[in-house]
Every structure is written in structure tokens, then in C-alpha cells.
Structure 1
Amino acid sequence: MSRVLIADDEESMRTLVARAIAMDGHDTVTAQDGAEALDILTRENGAFDLLLTDIQMPIMDGIALALSAARDFPDLTILLMTGFAHQRERASNLSAIAHDVITKPFSIADIRTAVADALASKAAKT
């Protein structure tokens, strides 16, 4: 299936999302912040179908990560997550590079649906 890179500073959230996505057969790789995720993207030459990133993280936040990833890997689909309304507002001007923003807390069904939708949009573009 698809390869998904998950970036979130909360270990429990990374684990939950990775397990939920794996239920649909996707291969997941996790990173604890944006800098680590960007290192993984660079090392693997963008070999992912989807970047799923929290917005608020230490070292490099999800918006900086999304901007860098979109610049370096323009075919990568990006899905943002946040639990904060003001972060959702910050992301609203990223519609050109980010597929959507999913609001935390979300159910396993919600994240699986959001990922399926993002990957379907990628398939429609190719």
C-alpha cells in the first residue's frame, strides 16, 4: 500500500496514528518532531506517499516542516493535525501545499478516513 511518515511530539499519538493507519495496510515511519521528519524525508529522498504531521512541535513545527517538504518534494501529499484553534488558523493559508487539517482529538475512524481521503486525492492527481 502507501508509505506514510507521521511526525508528532507525543509518543502516544504517534503510536495511535501509526496503528490506525496500519489497519488499512499502510507502511508507517514515525518521527518525534519536524526536524527528525525532514531528516527522514531527505535521507529517503521523499519516498513517502503522505506526510502526516502535528502542527505544534518543538525544534521544527509542522508548518515549517510542511513548507520544507513541499519545496523539496512537491509530489508529497501533506495532511496536518492540531488540537489548537489558533494553529488551525495558521495552517489555513497553506491550502496550496496541505491537503487538509484534521482536528485533535479524533477517533481512529476519523484519522483513517482523513488518510484515505488524502491518499485518494494524490491518486487522482497522477
Structure 2
Amino acid sequence: MARVLIADDEDSMRSLVARAIAMDGHEIVTAADGAEALDILSADAHTFDLLLTDIKMPIMDGIALALAAARDFPGLIILLMTGFADQRERASGLNAIVHDVVTKPFSVADIRAAVAGALTTQTGGTISSP
């Protein structure tokens, strides 16, 4: 299964998404903001398959995180989440580096499907453990 880094400043959302994705057997690591997520990515270079990040966060938002992650970890699949139309618009120019933007609120099934789709589409098949 894949190793997924989730960045969201809302504890309840971060926890919900982590539990939902873990249901599919993925290994989950969480961060409370973009800066923490970038630190985690840098410390564990090239060990993550997917970055799932909220766009609107303090310290470093999800778009800045996505830009830095795409620059430093070009093979990393990036999914953004947002509940704000203006934030979704900001992400529209990032098609080259972002797989998709998931609109909040979403169901557990929605986020699981988005993650599965990103992992399958990006690799041409599902990611599995070695």
C-alpha cells in the first residue's frame, strides 16, 4: 500500500481523513500545517507516495506546500482539499503538479475514492508494498 502524508490544520478533519485512508491499508503520517508537512517530507525524503493537503492553512498554505513538494519531490502525487471556491480557483493553475482538488465537505467514500484514483492514475496501477 501507499505511504500518505496528510496536512490539515483542523484536528477533526485530519483525523477523519487519516482514518478513512487507513481503511484501505495505507500508512498515514499527519501534519498540522504546510511547514510541518514540508519538514516531514524533507526528513523522510522520497518515502511518501501521496501528499493530501488542505489549501487554506496557517504558516504555509497547501498551494505553497504543493509548489515546494513538486519542486523537491517530483514523483510525489499531490491532492488538494478545500471548502472554499476561491481557494479552488487558486489551485486551477496547478494542473501540471496537482492531481486533483477534492471539495469539502466530502464523505469517507469520496476521499477514499479520490486517493485510490490518484494512486491508480498516476502509476498506471495500484501501489502495493514491495
TM range (shorter): over 0.9
What amino acid does structure 2 have at the position aligned with 1:71? Answer: R
* CA-CA distance at 1:122 after TM superposition: 2.1
Q: Matched residues in 1 for 2:46 and 2:98: separation?
A: 16
Q: Matched residues in 2 for 1:121 and 1:36: separation?
A: 27
SS of the equivalent of 1:52 reads strand
Q: TM-score, normalised by structure 1?
A: 0.98
Matched, 1:65 2:65: yes
Match of 2:128 in 1: none
- Alignment deviations for residues 12-68 of structure 1 (CA, whole Å, 9 cap, x no partner): 000000000000000000000000000000000131000000000000000000000
What amino acid does structure 2 have at the position aligned with 1:119? Answer: L
Long gaps (5+) in structure 2: 126-130
Map 1:53-92 onto structure 2 (within 5 A): 53-92=53-92
**Same amino acid, percent of matched pairs:** 76
Q: Matched residues in 1 for 2:80 and 2:89: separation?
A: 12
Matched, 1:99 2:99: yes
Matched, 1:23 2:10: no
* CA-CA distance at 1:118 after TM superposition: 0.4
Between Structure 1 and Structure 2, how many residues are aligned? 125
SS of the equivalent of 1:28 reads strand
* CA-CA distance at 1:88 after TM superposition: 0.2
SS of the equivalent of 1:79 reads strand
What amino acid does structure 2 have at the position aligned with 1:44? Answer: D
SS of the equivalent of 1:24 reads coil
* CA-CA distance at 1:123 after TM superposition: 1.4
Q: Matched residues in 2 for 1:105 and 1:99: separation?
A: 19
Over aligned residue pairs, what C-alpha RMSD do you find?
A: 0.9
Match of 2:2 in 1: 2
Long gaps (5+) in structure 1: none
What amino acid does structure 2 have at the position aligned with 1:112? Answer: R
